[in-house]
Structure 1
Amino acid sequence: MKIRQIEIKDFGAIKNKTLKFTSGLNVLYDENGQVREAVRSFIEKMLFGNAEFPYAGILWFESGGRNYRLTRDLHRETPYSELLCETSGELIDADRISDSKVTLGISESVFENAICIAPLKGNTGSEIVREVQRQIAGFQWSADRTVDLRCTSQRLKMTRKGYQVQVERRKKADQLEKGKVSTTICRLRAEISDLEDQKQQIGEQQSALRTGGDSNGFQMLDGRISELEKKNRTQIIIMCATVIAAFSAAIYMGMNMQTVVPAILAGIAGALVFMIETNCEMRTVRELEKRKRMKNRWMAKQDKLQDGRNELDDELHEKNTALANLTEELQEMEEYAYLPLIDEIEIDSINYAMDTIEKLSARIYEKTGNRLVETMSEILRGITGGECRELLIDEDFHIRVDTGSDLVSIENLRLITVGQIYLSLRLAMGEILCGAEKLPVLLEEMFGAYDLENAAQTVTWLTGDQRQVIVSTGKKKELEILKNTGIACNTITI
């Protein structure tokens, strides 16, 4: 693929600007980095139809041996997009660029990672080395780097850890709750047992009151009261009869006898008898009242015991109900303990996802790992002029370079060589992902730290590999280095 020409009609601060590119080395020069970034962004948005803001322009490019013209105008009320194959005259739906993963051999991820190449960032050599290792690992674990499976796996582990913490907390809370319920059940059973004992004691006291053999026995008291009431009634009748008899005898004697002495004696005798009977009756009444008071005390005690028993029955019913509810709750807790928690189901899902990611990563690594190293080694030999023959990368992504005479760790290489390894990585990514289609490379100030020889060697290999090279720079030193390489250079000043 080669970019032939862009016409920026309206894109941010750039208006009506036409830039033409050759198939070899192009240097896009402007000291304002924002303008150069706008050109790069314009190319990306034109290719993939991103519409964060309205813009308009035309992009001419070559792909697969055919020439295309891509036109977009997002200022219209109805956005306009047209992709014309100038070679065949065929109109292609330009919208499929934005809703399809791959268009004409490239994807948005490939554009970001294999076409647009910025220099490594780092304040120290070790930071730059680690960045190279990270990017190699990222590609080998996710192929096109649209999804970083390794990073995703780490996030899943962190998420799983969070769920595991929640499960442990939940189980501890459930265990604590079960302990509280069990303790309450034990307490209720002890209280119920005490209440049953109290109830039994009251029952025994009630039985003793009803069936006691002494004078406190209810039946004896009731029988004695009945006897006394009957005796009292009899005594009253006898007393009345005595009064009537004495009065009758006195009257009779007084009327039939010459003297009143017999009548008086009869009255006195009747009075004495009446007094004796009255005394007996009074003793009977006192005994009756005593027995009634004893009965009332017995009844009061019996009522008190019955009230206490009723209160115990109510309290026992309440506590038995609470015990039944808690026992059922504890049983449900024990049953639910065998059921997986929602968090445990999430953990199982995460474990399944992690297993799937591991299998996918293994397949990706098997498919691209060795090929990436081989392709990087081939590119590195070319851009270093054979100075670096082969890259060796172990499973921990430690990088060594075979220089022909020695194996040198990447930490001991010059930063220029580290940059060349990084460039070979980005180029290898493009070749692996897009096959035979040679992608253009947009290099952002890549040669500022290169010397003339290394820059010439790198650019010579890139352009000699039938690859379009666009170097974006705002540094005059880099521009001079590229011009002095002896390679035909199309300088584009914005």
Structure 2
Amino acid sequence: MILKRIFIKNFGGLQDKTIEFSSGVNMFYGVNEAEKNIVFIFMKDMFFGMPEEGVRKNEFYTEKNAQESVEKEGGTIWFRSGQRNYRLTREFGAETDDCQLFCEDTGKMLDGENETLEKLLGGISETIFDNAVLTEALSGNSPAEMAREIQNKLSILSKSGDGLLDLGRSEQMLKMWRKGYLSQKERGQKAVLREKEKLATELENLENELNGLRGQKGQVAQAQARMYSAEGKEEAAVIEEQLQAIEKKNLGMVIAGALAIIVGIVGIVGSFQLTDEMSKLGMDVCILAAIATVIYTLTARRKLRMEFVKQKKKKAYLQSRQEKLKSSQEDIDGTYEEKLTAFTNLQSEYQEYENETSLPTSEELETQALNLAMDTIGELSRNIYLQKGRKIRIRASRILRELTNGKFMEFYGDEGQRIELSMEDGTVGVEELERGEIEVLYFSIRMAASELLADEKILPVVLDDVFHGKRKESLMAISRWMKKQPRQIILLTKNENVKSIFSGKQ
């Protein structure tokens, strides 16, 4: 592509400004910084359209909804692509983005918003346009600062010239997501641990209660065993025998009392009927004997009744104890079964938490996937660097060797490592070079990237005041190299020395 002319009708404060270009090297001397930025941004917006957010690079901003943007902006670019000449006109406004692409050779109006303009640009993105077209000066003041700046820029160009694949940002986003999942996992693990500790405490309490109930069951069983043992049965039998004996004795006393009463009645009747003194005396003895017998039987029966009540109480106590032991056994068995069921359920719940902690959680699976993605990004980054970075280094080394007349044969240095240059008598670090030599290295890298990032598509190159060194031989070598290139070069400078050399008036 060769730029022929641009006309800025109204853009960024510039109005009705025309800039003519020719093929080869175009030098513009003394252009102020603000105007340079506006011109480049105008060119980029003409080819790619104004971004939706309205934010511009190089501290230049245009908000579509701002008061100053109510007036329409735009202009025209004339350029040559392939073997044909084109005219591109755009008009930006608050609600307008009109694009017209006209082929001057065929006289046909083309649709600039379809793939036609994209094909003319070689299918490159806006980010590649930035990296391949615009080369800004190094901002470092010391050789060490300039060396670090070159190293960082080379790393960016090697990893991805196209911002559509921002591996570094993607990796940072994945790290943030992974941190979120790890936090969720930690919170989940703490919650599970709390539940497990709670269940463990409940299980311990239930186990202690079950052990206590087992002890009570053992005590009841021992008491029942003693009660139904031979000794216990013998005690019950003795009480039963004593009760039966008391009943028999009581019956004997009743019979004896009845007989004594009969004998007494007979004696009383006989004493009235008999007249013989001896017979009456005998009857009196019978009456006294009957009275004594009745008194004895009554006293004996009272003692027997007391003994009977005592033995009855013993029997009732034994029966009550048996019933109480049986009831206690039933209560303990019921409570034990309830506690055992609760203990079994808690064990199952605790085992579920154990299984949950042993199996990978959703957060762990997500973290594993993110780790795999990060490993993949790392591998992609390495492959991209090896492929693109190696090509840039090889091509830049050739340009550097030509510009320095073989003084520096090549440079090398992987990502994160110090860049060194190879010479006939050894190697030298970038920070050990003079400013002019560092600028030559930087120029070589940017020219190599300009070729390779655009996939061999020849785009114009804008050099924004990149030369400040005072070595005329280096500037002359660069001037000769530029004039041999098929690409169009636009050199912006404020350096009088650069002006004189590139204009051929040295």
TM-score, with length taken from structure 1: 0.76
Q: Distance in 1 between matches of 2:293 and 2:116?
A: 140
**1:320 Cα deviation after fit:** 2.5
Partner of 1:200: 218
Partner of 2:244: 227
Superposed, which structure 2 residues align to 1:204-283 within 5 Å? 204-213=222-231, 217-218=235-236, 220-221=238-239, 223-224=240-241, 227=244, 230-231=247-248, 234=251, 238=255, 241=258, 245=262, 249=266, 252-253=269-270, 256=273, 268-283=288-303
In the TM superposition, what whole-angstrom CA distance separates every residue of 1:14-43 from its partner, at most 9, and x where no partner exists?
A: 253434241332437554x45543433333
Q: Distance in 1 between matches of 2:119 and 2:202?
A: 63
Q: Distance in 1 between matches of 2:232 and 2:186?
A: 69
The 8 Å contact of residues 271 and 283 in structure 2, kept in 1 or not, is answered as yes
The 8 Å contact of residues 27 and 490 in structure 2, kept in 1 or not, is answered as yes
In the TM superposition, what whole-angstrom CA distance separates every residue of 1:196-246 from its partner, at most 9, and x where no partner exists?
A: 34422320112212335258845654x358537845874786488468646
> Which of 83, 89, 94 is equivalent to 2:113?
94
Q: Distance in 1 between matches of 2:331 and 2:203?
A: 21
Partner of 2:500: 484
Partner of 1:376: 396
In the TM superposition, what whole-angstrom CA distance separates every residue of 1:429-448 from its partner, at most 9, and x where no partner exists?
A: 12112244322223333234
**1:422 Cα deviation after fit:** 2.0
Partner of 1:412: 432
Counterpart residue type for residue 484 of structure 1: S
In the TM superposition, what whole-angstrom CA distance separates every residue of 1:320-339 from its partner, at most 9, and x where no partner exists?
A: 23442344345545655663
Q: 1:217 to 1:35 in 2, by over 3 A?
A: farther
Q: Distance in 2 between matches of 1:72 and 1:218?
A: 121
Partner of 1:285: 305
Partner of 2:69: none
Partner of 1:25: 26
Q: Distance in 1 between matches of 2:292 and 2:214?
A: 63
2:359 is the alignment partner of 1:339: yes
The 8 Å contact of residues 51 and 74 in structure 1, kept in 2 or not, is answered as no
Give secondary structure in 2 for the equivalent of 1:422.
Answer: helix
Q: Distance in 1 between matches of 2:120 and 2:269?
A: 152
Give secondary structure in 1 for the equivalent of 2:132.
Answer: helix
2:154 is the alignment partner of 1:136: yes
Counterpart residue type for residue 91 of structure 1: L
Give secondary structure in 2 for the equivalent of 1:426.
Answer: helix
Counterpart residue type for residue 116 of structure 1: L
Gaps of 5+ in 2: 55-63, 65-71
Q: Distance in 2 between matches of 1:101 and 1:330?
A: 66
Q: Distance in 1 between matches of 2:399 and 2:235?
A: 119
Give secondary structure in 2 for the equivalent of 1:213.
Answer: helix
- CA root-mean-square deviation: 4.6
Percent identity between the two aligned chains: 29
Give secondary structure in 1 for the equivalent of 2:87.
Answer: strand
In the TM superposition, what whole-angstrom CA distance separates every residue of 1:119-157 from its partner, at most 9, and x where no partner exists?
A: 234454223212322332333333545435477568868
User: Which deviates the most, 140-149 or 405-414?
Assistant: 140-149
Q: Distance in 2 between matches of 1:103 and 1:238?
A: 143
In the TM superposition, what whole-angstrom CA distance separates every residue of 1:409-460 from its partner, at most 9, and x where no partner exists?
A: 3232112222222222222112112244322223333234555654454355
**1:72 Cα deviation after fit:** 3.5
Gaps of 5+ in 1: 490-494
> Which of 62, 75, 94 is equivalent to 1:58?
75
**1:249 Cα deviation after fit:** 4.3
In the TM superposition, what whole-angstrom CA distance separates every residue of 1:261-301 from its partner, at most 9, and x where no partner exists?
A: 88876665444323222222222222223223334544554
Partner of 1:400: 420
